[in-house]
Structure 1
Amino acid sequence: MEVTSEFISAVRLMNNPDETSTFEKGKIPTLQPMNTTTFWVSSTVEDWQKATHPAPRRQYVVTLKGKIRFKVSNGSTFLIEPGIILLAEDTKGEGHSWELVEGEKWERLYIPIADHAEDYFISDAK
């Protein structure tokens, strides 16, 4: 398969060594086959909004509609909207919280990453 030079913006939620949550901005290559298990759509505002929680599994979260502000352990925030992939990997500790800042609901796809599979995230810090 030909390697692409095209990317889509991404933000990765992850755990610090003390299991607090943090994030980093980066990108994921397009046209890259990824080892995922299944996917499902959600379009409701769950009780998770504003409640701190860890990700239930490593997964890509693809926003279709809505603008969401995420908050991590140290109080830092970032925005997710259509066109930015969220990579949720903060599966331990207190996790993160989020709130809807634009739109009536957050429509998204959850795409779990297979156990031990590469996530293809490239940090902007590199």
Structure 2
Amino acid sequence: MKNIIKGICVIMAFNTIAMANAQNKESKNLSFKVNKEESKDYIPAYRLINNADGTCAFEKGRIPTLKHMNTTTFWLSNKTEEWEKNAHPAPRRQYVITLKGNIKFKVSDGSTFIIKPGTILLAEDLKGKGHSWDMVNSKEWERLYVPIAEDADDFFIADNGAK
């Protein structure tokens, strides 16, 4: 009988420890921890700009997260027309956020860069010949257009530190 009681006590102790461990694991899963390597303060970006002579160039940089930007509307597109692939200036200052596709942009001097999902394009080349683009290893370009209010800050920070 003593052995049975000891066995029951051991099983109860084991179950108590197992339940405590399970509760501890559940509470760890419910807590929200931010790993510094996973937490990013910026989103990578490219900005299309006009040079003084009217040609188009680009800057590589970033846009800070959690900034409230002065915008009033947005729209989605997955359609492309051939004229869009020819050189053209941006119709307005706007963020172009790629949701699907890899897009190769080309500026006046022949330089190129590729936008993939997770990188923001800031289109500010409003004059001159503008830029051109083409899909790379993609059949479709899904994107979100977010116009920037007139005279509003675009929050772009060039990699060289200049704004």
| TM bracket (short chain) | over 0.9
Q: Distance in 1 between matches of 2:92 and 2:52?
A: 18
Aligned partner of 2:106 in structure 1 is: 71
Q: CA deviation at 1:9?
A: 0.1
| Contact residue 66 and residue 107 of structure 1 kept, 8 A | yes
Higher helix share: 2
Within the candidate set 71, 84, 89, 1:54 is matched to: 89
Aligned partner of 2:51 in structure 1 is: 16
Query: Residue 136 of structure 2: SS of its match in structure 1?
Result: strand
Higher strand share: 1
Per-residue CA distance 1:20-67 (angstroms, 9 max, x = gap)? 000000000000000012100000122234300000000000000000
Q: CA deviation at 1:104?
A: 1.2
Aligned residues: 123
Match for 1:73: what amino acid?
S
TM-score by length of 1: 0.94
Match for 2:158: what amino acid?
S
Query: Residue 115 of structure 1: SS of its match in structure 2?
Result: coil
| Contact residue 58 and residue 89 of structure 1 kept, 8 A | yes
Two-structure CA RMSD over aligned residues (Å): 1.3
Percent identity between the aligned chains?
Answer: 64
1:99 equivalent to 2:134? Answer: yes
Within the candidate set 129, 133, 151, 1:116 is matched to: 151
1:32-43 to 2 correspondence within 5 Å? Answer: 32-43=67-78
Within the candidate set 45, 52, 62, 1:27 is matched to: 62
Q: Distance in 2 between matches of 1:55 and 1:49?
A: 10
Q: Distance in 1 between matches of 2:85 and 2:151?
A: 30
Q: Distance in 1 between matches of 2:83 and 2:116?
A: 18
Q: Which runs of 5+ in 1 are unaligned?
A: none
Aligned partner of 1:81 in structure 2 is: 116
TM-score by length of 2: 0.73
Q: Distance in 2 between matches of 1:36 and 1:76?
A: 30
Q: Distance in 2 between matches of 1:74 and 1:106?
A: 24
Q: Distance in 2 between matches of 1:37 and 1:16?
A: 28
